Amino acid sequence: MGNVWIFIEQDAGKIAEVSLELLSKGTELAQRLGVKTEAVLLGKHVSALAKTLHEHGADNVFLAEDPRLEPYSALPYTKVVCELIRAHNPNILMFGATNMGRSLAPRVASTVLGGLTADCTALEIDDFEDRANSRVMKDRLMQIRPAFGGNIIATIANSWGDPQMVTVREGVMQLKEPKPGRTGKVTPVKVELTDAETVVNIIERVKSESKVNLKSARIIVAGGYGAGSKENFGLIHKLAEAIGGEVGASRAAVDAGWIDHEHQVGQTGVTVRPKLYIACGISGSIQHRAGMSSSAKIIAINTDASAPIFSIAHYGIVGDLKEVIPMLINAIKGKDQ
C-alpha cells in the first residue's frame, strides 16, 4: 500500500499552517494504515523547512528545489507533483483548500485521473462496499463533507484507484504539537521542466494581509441576524472589546452588510476553535456550527429557547441581546475595577 502524502504549501519560505494541520491528520491516518507520512515540498531554497516537517510528523520529505518553482505557478507544480505520483504511487494525497491548493489539486487529479473531494470536514479510514462491482475495498479513505447546501453530510469514497485526493480548509484539522528533535528522510527530486511548462512569467505580486485573525483568537464574540440592525451589531463589537476578543459573524449578518465577510464563521467562512465562543442572535444552522462547534466553551444568547445553537452551547442565556449584552459588559467592567 502507498504512503500518505501531504502537499506542503509554502510562500517565500513560510509554511502555510494548513499544511502542518494536514501533517497532523496525515500522521494519524498513516498510523492507522501502517504506512509512512510523506511531505511534498516544492520551491526555491526551501530545504531548511524539512526539519519543521519532520518535527510535525513527516517521515520523508520529497524536496523539489528549483528557481522556477518560486513563486507558485500551476503548470510547473502540476508537472512535478504528477511525476512524483507516477513514480511512487501514494495511497492518499492531501492539499489545503487554499487558493494554491484549489488551483493545484484539480489539475493534479485530472492529469493522473484520480478522484478528488474538495473541502472535507473529516477524514476516516474504513472498508468501502463497492456495490456496483460487488466487492469490499479494505481501508479506504472516507472523505466526509457537507453536501446539498449543507443539508446532508456526505461520505465519499474513491473506488477506482489511488491516490485518493482531498482538499481540507484551514482550521478544520487540529494542529498537534511538534516533536522537537524528531528527524526523518529527505528525498531530493529532480526537476525537469519544458519551456511550455514555464511559459507563465510572474512579474509582480501584490499581497494584502487580512487584519482579522479569527483563527488564532482565544475569545470570539459572534453576532447574527438576531442583532436586527448594523447599529445593534455595534453591541457585538463592544462586548468583544470589553472581554478582549475578536468579532465573528454568521453569514446572515454578513449578507445584511453589517460586517465584512472576513469575519464570517462557518462552512463558507473561517473554521475556529477558540477557548470561548459567544454566539449572540445566531440560530445555529448546520453551516454555522461547522465552523465553531469545536470551540472549548460556547455561550449562546438567543430570544428563542428552542434555537439549535442551544443544543451545542455549554451555557445558554434566553433573552434579548440588546438587554443581555449591556448587562454582560457592565458585569465585566465591574469585575475589572
* Of the candidates 162, 149, 76, 50, the residue with the CA atom closest to the CA atom of residue 112: 162
Angle at 139 between CA 138 and CA 141, to 5 degrees: 130
Q: Tell me the closest approach of the beta carbon of residue 278 to ligand FAD, in angstroms.
A: 12
Stretch touching ligand FAD by CB under 6 A, among 62-70, 173-181, 192-200, 318-326: 318-326
Q: Rounded to whole angstroms, how far apart are CA atoms 285 and 68? A: 45
Three-class HEC string of 95-160: EECCHHHHHHHHHHHHHHCCEEEEEECEEEEEEEEEHHHCEEEEEEEEEEEEECCCCEEEEECCCC
DSSP 3-state assignment of 272?
A: coil
Q: Which is nearer to ligand FAD, 114 or 224 (CB)?
A: 224
What residues between 247 and 306 interact with ligand FAD by CB under 6 A? 250-253, 264-269, 281-283, 285, 287-288, 291, 301-304
Q: Rounded to whole angstroms, how far apart are CA atoms 21 and 318? A: 36
What residues between 194 and 233 interact with ligand FAD by CB under 6 A? 224-226, 228
Q: Which of 44, 88, 182, 322 binds ligand FAD (CB under 6 A)?
A: 322
- 334 touches ligand FAD by CB under 6 A: no
Stretch touching ligand FAD by CB under 6 A, among 31-39, 126-134, 238-246, 316-324: 316-324
Q: Which of 165, 307, 313, 328 binds ligand FAD (CB under 6 A)?
A: 307
What residues between 141 and 170 interact with ligand FAD by CB under 6 A? 149-150
99-112 and 74-88 are packed helices; what angle lies between their axes, rounded to 10 degrees? 50
Which backbone phi and psi does 324 adopt, to 5 degrees? -70, -45
Query: Which residue has cell 445584511?
Result: 256
Q: Tell me the closest approach of the beta carbon of residue 235 to ligand FAD, in angstroms.
A: 10
Count interface residues toward ligand FAD (CB under 6 A). Answer: 31
Whether residue 21 contacts residue 170, with contact meaning beta carbons closer than 8 Å, is answered with: yes
The site for ligand FAD (CB under 6 A) is made up of 149-150, 224-226, 228, 250-253, 264-269, 281-283, 285, 287-288, 291, 301-304, 307, 320-322
